A and B are shown apart, each in its own frame.
Chain A
Amino acid sequence: MLSRRAVVREALIALVRQAGLGAREHTGGAASSQSEVVLVEAVGDISRAVALRQSDPSVGVVVLSDDSLADGGQALALIEAGCSILPPEATAHDLLYALKAAARGEIIIPPALARRLARGRAAAPQAEAMVELLSDREREILALLGAGMTNKAIAQRLYLSVRTVEGHVASLCAKLGVHSRTEAVLLALRTGLLPLFE
């Protein structure tokens, strides 16, 4: 059991022992050869969990996550490292199940997280198709629309006439099947063609 908080460590060790499994405190660093699974409390920082798996792939790692794992990027990093993830609302039963599964080499992921990650992956091909549809200049203008620039500002940035920029905006809207620059930007954000935050 790896956690910063002594009370959490002691409580979880007691819970696991009560279920007839062996448990002890993990003192950090590489897992001992006798450990089969390391339970890690990851509060905003997943690096220790990932490092444990990387140092010894034969050790199972189960991560007690908090709401910071709403960021799909961190969740993916844990899964790719071979870590199981328990959500904040996991029960004692869920914990014991995950520990036993990890000892067998399985990875446990909360269903809601799995669905969200799957949706994100499914959206990626849409972004790729959009990239293929749009010309280089249209992609450039879409990015500037996403930055909130007016047609005049875009024209001045790119040294094009306003009429030409208006033409490109109309063209990219038609190609994307939307009716306004706002819809074009929203579609691009939703599909990952434009990043949500810079």
Chain B
Amino acid sequence: MKTRVAVLGTVADLHAAGIAYDLETLTRLADDLAPDLLCAQVPRDAWERGESGGFEVEYREALVPLAKVSDIVIVPVMTPSPEPPAVGWRRWLIGVVDRAFRWAVRTASSPEIINAGWFSHVCAVLCELHIRLGGALVRAWWEASNRVVLENLQAAIARDPAARVLVTVDCRRKHGLERELRRIAGVDVVPYHAL
């Protein structure tokens, strides 16, 4: 028996920026999917202390409130440390890349397009550009945080292999994460709407 896992890309503060993939749409989507486990890109230590004030808006105002009134169990999978800021010319170039990413999300707008395979590729390319331009510290942080997310996902799946798992991450991580999950024996990566 394989564990069914779907990765849903989220867009942080852009959910509250008037796009079709807004917080209400995200809440309705997660509610309809009704996963057993929602592996969320939030840090475990802050989650266990009940400190959700620092979470991204999609968790603070949509997914955590939904979990409280449903049988959805939130599993925090993120590293607690924030991304280190780039400096100098790197910071300016990353700003350009990030504005391009935000423009792409606003243009795509709906959850279906933002989570489509081709859009994930676009996001992954922009993410890789962000990392390369950010320098060694930024690269190290992304590599470490991707590793932590994957390890925590593996632990969640091992603890409860019969669960239906929805993973919510920054849409820039979606493509790479799905690739890594497909390598894990016993995991069946499915589109979010097929969970």
Q: Which of A's residues lie within 8 Å of B, judged by CB?
A: 152, 155-156, 158-164
Complex contact A161–B74 (CB within 8 A) = no
Residues in chain B within 8 A of chain A (CB atoms) = 36-37, 67, 71, 73-75, 156, 159-160, 162-164
A/B interface sample: 27 pairs, CB < 8 A: A152-B71, A152-B73, A155-B73, A156-B67, A156-B73, A156-B74, A159-B73, A159-B156, A159-B160, A160-B73, A160-B159, A161-B36, A161-B37, A161-B71, A161-B73, A161-B160, A161-B162, A161-B163, A161-B164, A162-B36, A162-B71, A162-B73, A163-B36, A163-B163, A164-B36, A164-B162, A164-B163
3 tightest Cβ-Cβ pairs between the two chains A and B: A161-B36, A161-B163, A162-B71
With the chains together, A155 CA to B162 CA distance in Å? 14
12 further interface pairs, Cβ-Cβ under 8 Å (given A152-B73, A160-B73): A152-B71, A155-B71, A156-B67, A156-B74, A159-B159, A161-B71, A161-B160, A162-B36, A162-B71, A162-B73, A163-B163, A164-B160
Give the A-B contact count at a CB cut-off of 8 A: 36
| A163 x B74 contact (CB < 8 A) | no
B157 CB → nearest A CB, Å: 11
Q: Which of A155, A161, A164 has the most CB of B within 10 A?
A: A161
Q: Which residue of A lies closest to B164 (CB)?
A: A161
Residue of A nearest to B36 (CB): A161
For the complex, give the distance between the alpha carbons of A152 and B72 in Å. Answer: 9
Nearest CB of A to B20, in Å: 30
Alpha-carbon distance between A96 and B138 when the two chains are bound, in angstroms:
85
Query: Across the two chains, which residue of chain B brings its CB closest to A160?
Result: B160
Chain A residues in 8 Å Cβ range of B162: 161, 163-164
Write the chain B residue with the least CB distance to A137.
Answer: B159
CB distance from B17 to the nearest CB of A (A): 31
Q: Which of B71, B75, B162 has the most A CB atoms < 10 Å from its CB?
A: B71
